[in-house]
């Protein structure tokens, strides 16, 4: 393959913008553990995780097998506090068809008190530039059932 120099006028000539559409509607079986988690969120406003007796890790969303030591976590439910801290975040500034809300908004990693794994969720904290690492937050549950993680509507900053 030969290499050639491209000047700017040629580059513009060959710089195409390709319009495309991609929609991938899908469904999946949440399984017994995922279904119990969602029902507890939706019906009881409870956030359930699972705790591994063997290594002490607490997972949310709950999972059937410990990712660290492979112990069975099927009946190791624990109720987690609806509070936690922000361990990472980004500001969503573009619009996509399946986003949960219109941009701009903050999508944060939130480590709930008592959990060892973070969850990603919407953070409302007074504006996209107000999010901070380590910010204390609490869950705000949805008024209408979503049958998903969006049964937590969002997290909001806890004013201390």
Q: How far apart are CA 50 and CA 80, in angstroms?
A: 9
Q: How far apart are CA 18 and CA 39, in angstroms?
A: 43
Query: Residue 61: is the preceding peptide bond cis (ω within 30°)?
Result: yes
Q: Which is nearer to Zn ion, 52 or 125 (CB)?
A: 52
Does 101 help bind Zn ion (rule: CB under 5 A)?
no
**CB neighbours of 140 closer than 8 A, spacing ≥ 6?**
124, 152, 153, 154, 155, 156
What tokens were used for 13?
């000539």
Does 54 help bind Zn ion (rule: CB under 5 A)?
yes
Q: Which is nearer to Zn ion, 52 or 107 (CB)?
A: 52
Q: Which is nearer to Zn ion, 71 or 142 (CB)?
A: 71
The site map against Zn ion for 65-94 (x = CB under 5 A) is -x-xx-x-----------------------
Does 146 help bind Zn ion (rule: CB under 5 A)?
no
**Minimum CB separation from Zn ion for residue 122, in Å?**
30
């Amino acid at each position: 393959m030969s290499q050639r120099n491209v000047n700017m006028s040629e580059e513009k000539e060959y710089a195409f913008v390709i319009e495309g559409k991609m929609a991938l509607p899908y469904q999946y079986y949440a399984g017994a553990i995922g279904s119990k988690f969602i029902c507890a969120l939706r019906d009881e406003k409870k956030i359930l995780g699972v705790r591994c007796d063997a290594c002490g890790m607490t997972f949310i969303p709950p999972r059937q097998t410990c990712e660290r030591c492979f112990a069975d976590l099927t009946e190791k439910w624990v109720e987690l506090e609806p509070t936690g801290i922000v361990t990472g975040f980004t500001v969503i500034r573009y619009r996509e068809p399946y986003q949960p809300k219109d941009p701009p908004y903050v999508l944060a990693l939130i480590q709930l008190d008592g959990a060892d794994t973070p969850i990603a969720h919407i953070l409302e904290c007074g504006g996209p530039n107000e999010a901070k690492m380590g910010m204390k937050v609490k869950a705000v549950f949805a008024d209408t059932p979503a049958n998903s993680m969006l049964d937590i509507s969002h997290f909001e900053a806890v004013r201390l």
